[in-house]
Amino acid sequence: MPGSANPSPHPAGGAEADGYRHMPERITSLDELARRLPGLVVTDDMRRTARRYPFAVTPYYLSLIEVPDPSDPIFRQCVPDPGELIENPELSADELGEFTRYSPVPGLIHRYPDRVVCMTTVFCPTYCRHCTRKRLVGKPAGEPTSAVLDAHVDYVRSHPGIKDVILSGGDPLTLPDERLEHLLARFRDIPSVDILRVGTRAPVTLPSRIDDALCATLEKYHPVWLNTQFNHPRELTPQAATACDRLLRHGVPVSNQTVLLRGVNDAPETMEALCRGLLRVRVRPYYLFQCDPVAGVEHFRTPVARGVRILEHLQRALGGLGVPRLAADAVRAGGKVPIGPSYVLGHKNGRLVMRNADGETVTYPDGPSDCSAGPAAPSRDPRPAAPRRNPPSPPG
């Protein structure tokens, strides 16, 4: 197995220093932000917000801001907003139960039988203000130790039903290449693991991180898939397109998981432009998630009906390749649930009565209900059957 001979459990390196290695010039203070965004007034509430939930943004992502206020979809995603301090007594910091009910090892989530999510770091290039794990990211004390990552690998090795390992965080691409490679190698060394996935926003907020060296590393441990999170068409810059292209050329399929965010992308036309733009750079629109109901993101949340309306628009406007699945993560660790418009109106006289994309009522003759015989039993001999001497007459 490539890389499996690496003798060191985890290459040396302070966690915090590692976290910042790829982003030495990022902006982490609101005073510096105000210097870079003329016209921005930093309020006490913004400072309180940044004290509760860390602030950092890459110069690249900051450069995408056109208007220095929350009407700008890029500004809204990266600049602290006092809305983050809204207290909703019904929401806990871990409303999804990620790190309680389904976490057999600290930082590892085993919610579905065949896959696990491994939190490999708490650092990210930019701290998204809508982040589901905002209570954890950017806080060095929470950085997983080598022993914790060892425990992740041991857990996966001792559970052969796990076929899919998702490296998440924080952003795993903040790890230095050698640490990332070491983790990939150890998971790839487990015979029962089929695929490795990397969840990262680096193509969006730090596309320069997707360089040839990184892609060559990922390529050594195929099949490796990458999920990212473009939320607005303005994020699809030439640099981002180059990053995606580089990944694809190294055989890493790139899928997009958009979060539906109030004031960022909650208009059907915006989402259509995003999905069309993703297709142009060969990134598959995979999921459109309702914003998770966790503390600190209440001002980003939208009614489910808005997500359904946007999905209906996408289904009318785009071919199936460009339409993501709309889903909500149910609270109390209920898992992802697909949601969408209902096109089935009922059954009548053996026909399914439906509404089509134009709003017309249409029907479909249902298949025979007597399926008791089931599908034909598979042949014991996998070779193609020899032609019959007397083929049966065609039906009818």
> Is 329 an active-site residue?
yes
> Is 380 an active-site residue?
no
Q: Does 261 bind ligand SF4 (CB under 6 A)?
A: no
> Is 124 an active-site residue?
yes
Give the whole-angstrom CA distance, residue 138 versus residue 133.
Answer: 10
> Is 115 an active-site residue?
yes
The span of 169-177, 231-239, 279-287, 373-381 binding ligand SF4 (CB under 6 A) equals 169-177
Structure tokens at 219: 């390529």
At position 279, the amino acid (one-letter code) is: L
Q: How many C-beta neighbours within 10 Å does residue 288 have?
A: 26
Q: Which C-beta is closer to ligand SF4: that of 188 or that of 293?
A: 293
Q: Which C-beta is closer to ligand SF4: that of 133 or that of 188?
A: 133
Given 78, 131, 215, 275, which residue is catalytic? 131
Q: Which C-beta is closer to ligand SF4: that of 91 or that of 128?
A: 128
The span of 85-93, 125-133, 147-155, 156-164 binding ligand SF4 (CB under 6 A) equals 125-133
Provide the minimum distance between the beta carbon of 365 and ligand SF4 in the complex, in angstroms, as a whole number: 46
Give the whole-angstrom CA distance, residue 172 versus residue 247.
Answer: 15
Provide the minimum distance between the beta carbon of 15 and ligand SF4 in the complex, in angstroms, as a whole number: 16
Q: Does 170 bind ligand SF4 (CB under 6 A)?
A: yes
> Is 26 an active-site residue?
no
Burial class (CB in 10 A: 0-12, 13-18, 19+), 258: buried
Transcribe 87-122 into DSSP letters. --TT--TTTT-TTTTT-SBTTEEEEETTEEEEE--S
- Residue for token digits 């015979």? 191
Q: Does 135 bind ligand SF4 (CB under 6 A)?
A: no
Q: Which C-beta is closer to ligand SF4: that of 205 or that of 302?
A: 205
Q: Which C-beta is closer to ligand SF4: that of 128 or that of 196?
A: 128
Decide if 200 contacts 226 (C-beta within 8 A): yes
Decide if 15 contacts 140 (C-beta within 8 A): yes
Decide if 136 contacts 142 (C-beta within 8 A): yes
Q: Does 299 bind ligand SF4 (CB under 6 A)?
A: no
Structure tokens at 60: 């690249």
The span of 60-68, 85-93, 167-175, 378-386 binding ligand SF4 (CB under 6 A) equals 167-175
Provide the minimum distance between the beta carbon of 169 and ligand SF4 in the complex, in angstroms, as a whole number: 5
Q: Which of 171, 235, 266, 292 binds ligand SF4 (CB under 6 A)?
A: 171
Peptide bond into 138 cis (omega under 30): no
Given 26, 76, 111, 197, which residue is catalytic? 111
Q: Which C-beta is closer to ligand SF4: that of 19 or that of 170?
A: 170
Give the whole-angstrom CA distance, residue 139 versus residue 162.
Answer: 29
> Is 343 an active-site residue?
no
> Is 244 an active-site residue?
no
Provide the minimum distance between the beta carbon of 44 and ligand SF4 in the complex, in angstroms, as a whole number: 24
Give the whole-angstrom CA distance, residue 60 versus residue 238.
Answer: 12
Transcribe 143-174 into DSSP letters. PPPHHHHHHHHHHHHT-TT--EEEEESS-GGG
Give the whole-angstrom CA distance, residue 259 versus residue 297.
Answer: 12
Give the whole-angstrom CA distance, residue 201 versus residue 74.
Answer: 14
Q: Does 98 bind ligand SF4 (CB under 6 A)?
A: no
Q: Which of 26, 76, 110, 133 binds ligand SF4 (CB under 6 A)?
A: 133
Q: Does 232 bind ligand SF4 (CB under 6 A)?
A: no
Q: Which of 73, 107, 142, 169 binds ligand SF4 (CB under 6 A)?
A: 169
Give the whole-angstrom CA distance, residue 238 versus residue 166.
Answer: 27
> Is 194 an active-site residue?
no
- Residue for token digits 């983050």? 84
Q: Which of 79, 131, 275, 327 binds ligand SF4 (CB under 6 A)?
A: 131
By annotation, the residues acting in catalysis are 111-112, 115, 124, 128, 131, 133, 292, 329, 336
Task: Summarize as ranges the residues that interact with ligand SF4 (CB under 6 A).
Answer: 124, 127-128, 131, 133, 137, 169-171, 201
